[in-house]
Amino acid sequence: MLGLVAALAIALVWVVAGTLEPRVVHAGETAPNFSIVADDGRTMTRSNFGGKLLVLNFWATWCPPCVEEIPTLDGFQRLMGPLGVVVLGVSVDRNEKLYKQFLERTRVTFRTARDPEENIPSSYGTFQFPETYIIDSRGKVVQKVISNQNWMDPEFLTRVKTLLAAQSL
């Protein structure tokens, strides 16, 4: 009887431990739904981009790699926006004043929002910043970018243009 109780306890611990692992979203999976009010007052969701390619970037002002990639991400939005790309930068900054000062200083052109409780990044399994998900018009993650990158790299731009072409088929 004691052996049976021990076996059941071990099985219970194993099941519970498996549910405690955060879900991590990978390329090819459906992106989790979200809703957030952007700094311009528009409510943004995963599905309200009108057939565009969504670049969902999680970042923070206290994150040096995040700050390093902001200029190229901004250039990417200016270049690719007219072709059907929407960049949404979701900051996990808790300090609203520092966040707003940063945005005033850098004058980014892509849409931004703040999620200080990290609800949206958590739903994607993001725990390291920056991390970016490229999501197609059907809500599928077509690419996941971990860490900072040069968004203006010609090879990357070609890849995104290919994604846009495939999306319009």
Instruction: Write out the chain's pLDDT in tens, 169 residues.
Output: 666 555 555 555 445 444 445 678 888 899 999 999 999 999 998 888 767 899 999 999 999 999 999 999 999 999 999 999 999 999 999 999 999 999 999 999 999 999 999 999 999 999 899 999 999 988 999 999 999 999 999 999 999 999 998 877 6
Distance CA 113, CA 41 (A): 9
User: For position 17, what pLDDT does the model report?
Assistant: 45
**CATH says 25-167 is which class?**
alpha beta
* The pLDDT of residue 2: 63
The pLDDT value recorded for residue 18 is 47
Domain ranges of the chain: 25-167
**pLDDT for residue 144:** 95
- Edge-first strand order for the sheet with 85-91 is 111-114, 85-91, 53-59, 131-135, 141-146
d(CA 134, CA 85): 10
What integer pLDDT is reported at residue 12 of this predicted model?
A: 52
For the chain, the straight-line distance linking the first and the last C-alpha, in angstroms and rounded, comes to 63
Type and span of the H or E element at 146: strand 141-146
